[in-house]
Amino acid sequence: MGLFKNFVSQTRKPEGFLGKMILSSMNPGHAKLADWGFRHLPVIRPEKAVDLGCGGGRNAGELLKKYPQAHITALDYSPLSVEKAESYNKSMIAAGRCTVQQGDVSDLRFPAGAFDLATAFETVYFWPGLENCFAQVAKILKPGGIILICNESDGTDPTSLKYEKIIDGMKNHTAEELETALKAAGFSEVTSDHHPTKPWITVLARR
C-alpha cells in the first residue's frame, strides 16, 4: 500500500520520479473527460482565460485552439506540472499567446477582473477550503465571467471514494456541494450536468 499510496498521491502535487510518471499519463488519461467538459461552455469570445490546476497543460492547449483570439494563462501548484505544461504549450508561449506559472488557488495573485473565463479540470478535489478558493476565482473574473468545473467523480462513486481514503487532502464533491460553495462565494446562474453513463460532472457558474 505504501508505494501505491505514494504513487496515486502524486495526483495532488506531482513531484520527483513518481510525479513525472503521473504527469505523463494526465494529458491522454483525462482527454475524453476534458473534451466532454469543454462541450458545456456557452458561445463566448474571451480575451483572457485561466486554467487552474493545469497539470500537463493539454487543457490550456485546447483553450488556445478553441479561442484563437484569447490569451491563456495556465497555473499549477506543482513546479513539475508547470514545467510539463510549458513544454506542451511551448510554441504558443513563444507566440505570446500563453503563460504558464506556479501559483496557489487559495491565494491567487492576479489583478481583480483579469479574466473572462476560468476552468478547473480534475483539480477542485485538492483545493483547501472550497468556498474561499471559489471566492479567489470570483475576484479574478470580470463581472459576467464564467467558471467551468469538470470532475471525473460525482462525489458518490465508489472508486473515487476509495481514493479519497488513500490520498491525503482529497475530497470528492457532489454537484450540489459545488453549487452551494459557488453561490456562497458570489457566483450565480449555477448549472450542472451529469454524464449519462459515467460519474462525470460539470458545473458552470457566472460571476
How confident is residue 9, by pLDDT bands cut at 50, 70 and 90? low
Task: Give me the pLDDT at residue 168, please.
Answer: 82
Q: Which three cell numbers stand for residue 27?
A: 494529458
The string of pLDDT tens digits covering residues 19-38 is: 677 777 788 888 999 999 99
Task: Give me the pLDDT at residue 74, please.
Answer: 98
Task: Give me the pLDDT at residue 165, please.
Answer: 83
Which whole number is the average pLDDT over 73-88?
96
Closest CA to 83 of 60, 98, 100: 100
Task: Give me the pLDDT at residue 5, please.
Answer: 62
Task: Give me the pLDDT at residue 169, please.
Answer: 80
Task: Give me the pLDDT at residue 29, please.
Answer: 80
Which whole number is the average pLDDT over 94-110?
97
Task: Give me the pLDDT at residue 12, please.
Answer: 65
CATH number, span 2-206: 3.40.50.150
Beta-strand pair 48-52/98-102: unpaired
Domain boundaries, the chain: 2-206
Q: Please say if the pLDDT value at position 98 is more than 60.
A: yes
Q: Please say if the pLDDT value at position 207 is more than 90.
A: yes
Determine what percent of the chain is predicted with pLDDT higher than 70: 92
Instruction: State the average pLDDT for the chain.
Output: 92
- What is the C-alpha to C-alpha distance for residues 168 and 184, in angstroms, rounded to an integer? 25
* 15 three-state secondary structure: coil
* Beta-sheet strands, E only, within 79-184: 98-102, 115-121, 141-151
Which whole number is the average pLDDT over 140-169?
91
* Beta-sheet strands, E only, within the chain: 48-52, 71-76, 98-102, 115-121, 141-151, 188-194, 201-206
- What is the C-alpha to C-alpha distance for residues 35 and 29, in angstroms, rounded to an integer? 12
Task: Give me the pLDDT at residue 45, please.
Answer: 96
